[in-house]
Amino acid sequence: MRLIMHLRARDRVFDVPDELLDRVRKASSMSVLTGAGVSAESGIPTFRGAGGIWEKYDYRKLATAEGFREDPRLVWEWYQLRQIEMKKAQPNPAHRTISEMEQSVSDFSVLTQNIDGMHRRAGNKRIVELHGSIWRMRCIRDNTVFEIDDPVAEIPPLCQCGSVLRPDVVWFGEPLSPHVVDEASRVAGASDVMFVVGTSAIVYPAAALPIITKNSGGLVIEVNVEPTDVSSYADLSLFGPAGDILPAFWNTIVRSESFMKEHPFIPKR
């Protein structure tokens, strides 16, 4: 049985069957798959849809290995710009709720397509960065990886070996790291509940993860401002801004006897 609810901020009541709410409250293993939409309310633009990044920029030039080989300076100008935006941005209530969820559920993981590092800044610890991070660089000659906290000053940044450094992100046409794919698939298969928040779910293999959860008997709960490919098989779709919906829905989950009974060590709210 699939449920669809269109909610506005003031609708803080979720008319969701108790049986479904109880499955969420009793979940011992939970995960959240996030996309650009979870960071939209932090002022970080999404990729698709109105005002999306791919409307202005050609991903072939900026988010492929070929594009980087052709013009590493152009690609770095774009990533430097995004680093400046992401450094200025602050985690929003959706990020903060996902951090609270990790403190409330014993086996909890974030699977994110975002390279912005917002989940870490919001306090999450168990994060699988499916597409890498804008706060890491990698030497194209010897694959040495460097962590950075601030936008790059020089572009293109150079490794001490003299070679150019590239953003340590996964570009289109590049495989995800096998370790990341294994860990994400393991988490998806073990999840009693997977929340799918702010993703258009058209980029693979990330978009296959909720299907793994569904096929393993887990619940799939979608949060998005509009229907996506996930809506066709999600057990519950909550349509509205993640920064409104997720805090309110999680509140409904934790403010219950059965949740407190199931999670005795979680501080009462």
| DSSP code per residue over 45-81 | --SSSTT-HHHHS-HHHHSSHHHHHH-HHHHHHHHHH
Q: Among 20, 203, 211, 266, which residue interacts with ligand BV8 (rule: CB under 6 A)?
A: 203
Q: Are 66 and 60 in contact (CB under 8 A)?
A: yes
Among 20, 89, 146, 172, binds ligand BV8 (CB under 6 A): 172
To the query of whether residue 95 is one of the catalytic residues in this protein, the response is no
In whole angstroms, what is the distance from residue 165 CA to residue 182 CA? 27
Which is catalytic among the residues 119, 131, 179, 263? 131
Does residue 42 belong to the site contacting ligand BV8 (CB under 6 A)? no
Q: Decide: is 156 part of the binding site for ligand BV8 (CB under 6 A).
A: no
Helices then strands, counting H and E runs in the chain, come out as: 11, 10
**Range 7-36, binding ligand BV8 (CB under 6 A):** 35-36
Provide the mask over 206-225, with x wherever binding to ligand BV8 is found by CB under 6 A and - wherever it is not: x----------------xxx
Query: Is 175 a residue that touches ligand BV8 (CB under 6 A)?
Result: yes
Exactly one of 111, 170, 219, 238 binds ligand BV8 (CB under 6 A); which one? 170
Within 10 angstroms of residue 158's Cβ, the number of other Cβ atoms is 12
Task: Please identify, among the stretches 40-48, 117-125, 248-256, 258-266, the one whose residues bind ligand BV8 according to the rule CB under 6 A.
Answer: 40-48
Interface with ligand BV8: number of residues (CB under 6 A): 35
Contact 256, 229 (CB under 8 A): no
CB under 8 Å to 94, separation ≥6 — which residues? 38, 41, 197, 198, 223, 242, 243, 246, 247
Q: Distances from the Cα of 201 to the Cαs of 46, 150, 197, in angstroms?
A: 13, 30, 10
Out of 3, 65, 140, 169, point to the residue binding ligand BV8 (CB under 6 A).
169
In order, the DSSP letters of 227-238 are --GGGGT-SEEE
55, 58, 66, 226: which one binds ligand BV8 (CB under 6 A): 226
Residues paired with 147 in a beta bridge: 136
Q: Which is nearer to ligand BV8, 48 or 126 (CB)?
A: 48
The site map against ligand BV8 for 85-124 (x = CB under 6 A) is ----------------------------x-x---------
Phi, psi of 239, deg, nearest 5: -100, 120
Q: CB neighbours of 191 closer than 8 A, spacing ≥ 6?
A: 27, 29, 30, 31, 213, 216, 218
CB closer to ligand BV8, 37 vs 218: 37
Residue placing its CB nearer to ligand BV8 in the complex, 206 or 234 = 206
User: How many whole angstroms separate alpha carbon 255 and alpha carbon 46?
Assistant: 32
Q: Is 202 in the site for ligand BV8 (CB under 6 A)?
A: yes
Q: Of 156 and 263, which CB lies nearer to ligand BV8 in the complex structure?
A: 156
What is the binding site for ligand BV8 (CB under 6 A)?
35-37, 40-41, 46-49, 52, 63, 113, 115, 131, 169-175, 198-200, 202-204, 206, 223-226, 228, 241-242
> Catalytic residues, which ones?
131
